[in-house]
Structure 1
């Protein structure tokens, strides 16, 4: 059995580290959304929709669905960080989803029944930052001529 090139060394590439960090943070945020105190108005945590008044750290509107999505994103990031291509895909496509969610949050009114996640202004800005940084980090690669990390305009193989 051959070992894939991006798993041949025991060292993680920069893109793998980035995916692992994002995955761990999403996992922690998902868990925190279910902890009273970290989540204010916890008694008003709804399954989904804009009627949930629970606020993660008093700032980000959350629901059961929102928290579960964060948990799943976290698990995916940790699992996909095992390989360079998995990490790159997680960051690129996960970031693209966050950019779409940002656009969705801008277009859908906060009191609209279509706001099922739920989203508020703080969530929208965070989704923009997450989308841009995740997609940007997906282009990290190890330079083969000195071990330095750089951002390139094409895929690293």
Structure 2
């Protein structure tokens, strides 16, 4: 009887991490697919393979490229795979994904700053390989902070191994 109760508690504390990773994975997959849909992505014909020259915008707001959309698709598959593999992997997905998005936020802020260009000279064009605009930058910040917050929230219960 006690073993059954322990198993119920363990399952209940693991489930949220897997669910959150699966939901985020599904959202990233959807966003990646929508990035390739003309109409939902404005200026679809101006989409570049990579680089900041891409003028295509998801929902008319977020600058995207083929590479950007593929990264969303891969991030989605990774989230679904992490959820399927277990709570520990799902939590790792949230932590690493959150850190990646915070780094991407910093990259977006720094790549176009005139202060950086004044201090270090012009930014080489190959350094600006991800199309990001101000809306992308702040979305990346909130995604990163949100994923790390979720990583903290979906911790296993005290005394329960992942």
TM-score of the two chains, using structure 1 as the length reference:
0.82
**Structure 2: how far apart are the matches of 1:59 and 1:95?**
22
After the TM superposition, list the runs of 4 or more consecutive aligned residues in structure 1 that deviate by more than 6 angstroms. none
**Structure 2: how far apart are the matches of 1:66 and 1:25?**
15
> Which residue in 2 is equivalent to 1:122?
135
Instruction: Output one character per residue of 1:54-101: Cα deviation in whole Å (capped at 9) or x when no partner.
Output: 000000000000000000000000000120011000000011000000
> Which residue in 2 is equivalent to 1:94?
97
Which residue of 60, 63, 72 corresponds with 1:61? 63
User: Gapped runs of 5+ residues in structure 2?
Assistant: 1-6, 114-121
The 5-angstrom pairing of residues 13-24 of structure 1 reads 13-24=15-26
TM-score of the two chains, using structure 2 as the length reference:
0.80
**Structure 2: how far apart are the matches of 1:71 and 1:10?**
29
CA contact (8 A) 1:54 1:61 kept: yes
Deviates more, 1:87-96 or 1:111-120: 111-120
**Structure 2: how far apart are the matches of 1:116 and 1:156?**
41
DSSP-derived class of the 2:155 partner: strand
Name the count of aligned residue pairs. Answer: 142
| Cα distance change, pair 10–133 in 1 and its aligned pair in 2 (3 A) | closer
DSSP-derived class of the 2:144 partner: helix
Which one has the bigger helix percentage?
A: 2
Instruction: Output one character per residue of 1:23-59: Cα deviation in whole Å (capped at 9) or x when no partner.
Output: 0000000000000011000000100011100000000
| Cα distance change, pair 134–10 in 1 and its aligned pair in 2 (3 A) | closer
Give how far 1:12 is off: 5.9
Superposed CA RMSD: 2.5
User: Gapped runs of 5+ residues in structure 1?
Assistant: 146-154
CA contact (8 A) 1:13 1:142 kept: no
